Structure 1
Amino acid sequence: MDAQPWPGYAWHVLEHFAALARLQLLRLLQRWDLPQRAHVQLLQHIGVVGVIVLSGWAGYVSVRAIWELTELIIYITVRCVVNLRYLIQPAMPWLLVAAASMYLRCLLDSAALRQEWLEFLQQWGWSRQLLSAFGLRVARGQAVDCPICTETFEDNPWTMATLSCCKQSVCWACLCRHAESVIDDARPDMNCPLFCKVLIPDVMVYKSFRRHQWSWRGLDLLGQKTRRKCRAYERWCLSSGLANTCAARMEDVSSQTDGIPTVVHCPGSDCDHMWLLPKQLRRSKASQEPGSCWDPRSWSFGRHMGFYVAPSEGGEDLRCVHCPSCEVAYCLLCSQPWEVSGHHHAGKSCLEFDATLPSTLRSKERHWAGAKECPGCGVRTLRSMGCNHMTCTQCAMHWCWVCGRPWQPWHYGCTANSQGSADCSLM
C-alpha cells in the first residue's frame, strides 16, 4: 500500500506553490511593461484557472487519502474478527463450562430459582417420576379446568396457580392478564380474580410475569417485556399506596368520596415523578372541558365568541402543571406538553389544542382509539380485556362498558346486540 500525504499537508503545499507562482507572474508582468489595469485583469483570469486546477488536485488527494484510510480500517477490522474466531473456537468449551458454573452458583444461592426449576420439571410424567425417586413431593398431574378461561390444563405448579385466599386453582396466564388489567386500569387494589376481595401477594404477581415470559405465547428470552411489567407493577404499588395513605389520614370521613386524592404521574417518558391531586379539583376542571368535537366550545370560533373560557387564576391557566423533576409543563387533563412545535395550549380547550397539532404528534388520538367516555366525568377509558364492569379512575363511578349506563349486577350479560335496547339483557 503506497503511502499518501495527509489532506492537510496537501493544502499547505498548494498555498506555497500558489504564492511562488504569483511572485513569478508579477515579475514577468513588470518586464513586459503592461498597464496596471491589464495586470489586474490578467491576474484575475489566471487566479480563477489556478484555483480550479489546484482545488481539483487537492480534492483528488483528499478523497484518495480518505479512501485508503477506510481500506486500512476495514482490513484491520476483518483481521481482528478472523483472529478472534480462531481464539474463541478452541476456548468455547471452557467458556461454556464457566457459564454453566456461574449459573449453577446462582441456582445454589437462589431458593426461588430452584423452586422454579422444580415446578418446571413437573410438567412431564418421566420428570415427575425422577423427582419422586429423589424423595421430592410432586403434583399428581390430573386434568382440571380454569374457572376464568374454562380451558383444561394439567394440574401442576407450572401451569396452575393455587390462590392462598380461596384455595382455588387458576392458570398462570389468567392471573397474569388479571394483574396487567389492574395495572392498566389503575385500580386501587390487586384483589383476587375470583371475587373473594383478598389481596394477591406480590410473589404471585411476579411469578405470573415469569410464567408468561417463559411460555410459548409470550416468550421473552432477554426479559425486556418482563422487566417493563415489573416496573409498571412497582409504580402502581407506589401510587396506590400513596393514595390509600392519604385517604386514611383524612379527618372528614363524610367527604372521603370527593376528597380522596388521585396520584398523577408525569407524562414524560423518562420521568417517574408523581404528585397527589384531589379528585374533586380535577373533576371541577374537567367539567368545563367540551367532551365532543361537535361542541362549539371546542372550536376556535366558539372560543373567540366567549363560549369557552379556560380556568385561570392570577393570569395563569390552572390546567398547566410543571413537573419539578423534568422541568416540563404539561396539561393536567390531556397530558399533552403545554407547548408543541410552536403551538400553545394556553386559553384553548384540550380538543381544540389537539386539533391544531400536526397529525404525527396527535399520539393521544391514536392511543385512545376505540376508547369510551365515562358517563360520570367524560374521561376516556380503553379496555384491553376483562368483563363489562368498569370503574372510572377519575370519578370512581361504576359503569357498563357495553351500554354506558351506571353499573348493575345484570350488566354482566350486556352484549353488542343489546347496546341499543332499553334494558340490558340478563345472564
Structure 2
Amino acid sequence: MSSDYDYSDEEYDDDEEMLDAEDGEPSTASDEEMDIETDDIKVISKGKKKLYEVEYDPLTQAEVEDLMRGDVENISAIFGVDATAAALLLRHMDWNKDRLIDKYMDNSAAVAAAAGVSPASKASSPGPERPRRSTRSASKTHRKVDPAPQPFVCPICFDDTQVETSELSCGHAFCTGCWNAYVTGKIREEGEHRISCMGEGCGVLAPDNFVLKVLDGDTETAGRYQELLVRNFVASSRNLKFCPYPSCTHAVSCHVASRSSLATVVPTVSCGADPKHKFCFGCPIEGDHRPVLCSVAKMWLQKCRDDSETANWIKTNTKECSKCQSTIEKNGGCNHMTCKKCKWEFCWVCMGPWQEHGTAWYSCNRYDDKTGVSARDAQSASRASLERYLHYYNRWANHEQSAKLSVELYVKTEKKMEEMQLSTALTWIEVQFMKKAVDEVEKCRTTLKWTYAMAYYLEKSNQKELFEDNQRDLEKAVEDLSELLESPIEAETIPTLRQKVTDKTVYVQKRNEIMLEDTAQGYEEGRWKWNTPVEGYD
C-alpha cells in the first residue's frame, strides 16, 4: 500500500508552539521529526492508514502482465486449452473469468467460435455421416495420374512466386508478406489488438504467438501490441486504472470504485513512478481533487464551463491597485502584493490591506453574505448568486494559478539554493529544505483550490463554519510559507531562514492533514449537508 508522508501526532499540539515568521520564537520541532544535521524533514511511518487515504497498489507494466498471465494460465488449466486460446477467450469476455467459465461450460463450441478461436462452421456440431457404398469394377483398374501441383497465388497480392505462407485455424492461407503488412497496419495505425483473418467474412482471430511470428522480429511493433493487450486488460477491470500522466505506463490497483463508496471517499492514488503522479481512481478529473467528492467536483467544473464568459473575466492576470488604481500583474505564488507605484501592500485575493492579514484576524477565505434577506426581487437575487459564485471561483482560480506559477517558483528556489551554498558552508543536501517547502506549498494549494469548490456547495451551518476555520488556518499558513520562500537571501540570515522555513513546512503539512482528515471524517459521519442534490450522497 502506498500512502502520503506522515509525521508524528505529537509534532505540534497547538499553533503557538510553531515558530512564526514574525515573532522569531525558537522552534519546538523534536529531533525525531527533524534531521539534526540537515534539518531535512524525516518521514515517520505510523503504519495506520488515515481516513482520507485508501488502500491501493501501484503496478508496473510488467506486474500487470504477470496478472494477465496468471488469469490465462488459470483458464488454460481449467478448460484444457493452450494459452493462446485461453487469452482469446478471456478477451472475448472482457477478462471476466467467472462469466467465461459459466458460458464455456454451457456451450464451449459456441463460445470458442464467438471468441475467434475456431471457425463458426467448425464450431457447429456435425450432422450424421452418410455411409459410403463400396463398389468393385469388373474392368481393370487404371491408376489416376495426379496433375502437376499448381503454384500458390496469394489472394491479396496475387503473387504466384511466394513460397512462404501462413494461415489460421480457418485454413485461409496468405503469403507472409501480406500478413506482415496487414498485422503491422492494424497495430500501429489502428491501435487494434483483435486482429481477424484476412479472409472475407472470416471471424477467426490471430492468437498472440501467430502475431509475433508474423511480425518477424519487429520489436517496436511487438512492444506496441503488448501495450495494447495490457491496456485492454486494465480497461476491462474495475479495480485497475492506468496513470493518466503522459508517457507513464504504470497502473494502480484499487478496490474503491463503486458509486456507494465514492459518496464517502475520495480515492486519491499514486502510480509510484513519480511522487507527483497523483490522481483520482474514481473519476477522470485531472490530478488530486481532495477533499471534495467526485460528484461535487464534477458539478463544480461543469458550472465553471457553463459560466465561461464570467470565468474568462475572472481568470485575467491583472488587477487594479486599490489605492492608486494602477494595473498590477501577479508574477509569483504569494498573495502579498506591493504596488510599485504607490508602495501600497495589499492581498491579491480580497484586495484588502495586507497589514490585517499578518494579525490573528484572517477571514479572506470566508464569503460575506451581505445581501441575506434583502434580495427581494429576481434581479437582486441573481446578482447575489453571481457574487457568491465569483467569491468562490475567484479563490479557486487563484490557487490554481498559483500552483501553475510553482514552476517558476521552483526555478527561483533552485537559484536561492545555489546562492546559499556559495555564501555559506551548507551542502546541496542541507539546502533541500527549500525544495521540500515548495513541494508542500504546491500540494496544499491544490487542497485549498478544491476546498473552495466544496464550500460553494456546502449548506450554511456550524459545520461549514468549522470547515472554513480549517480552510482559513491552512491558507494563512501556506501564505506565510510562500512569503518566506520568496523573501530575499542574505548570508547572515540564512540560518534563521532555514529554521523558519523548516518549521513552517512541518506546520503547513500538519494543517493540510487536519483539513483532509476532518473532511474525510465528516463524510464518514454524514456530517456534511449540501445546498444542492449530490449524486449518491444522502
Q: Please indicate the TM-score interval, normalised by the length of the shorter structure.
A: under 0.3
The TM-score normalised by the length of structure 2 is 0.21
- Larger fraction in strand: 1
- Larger fraction in helix: 1
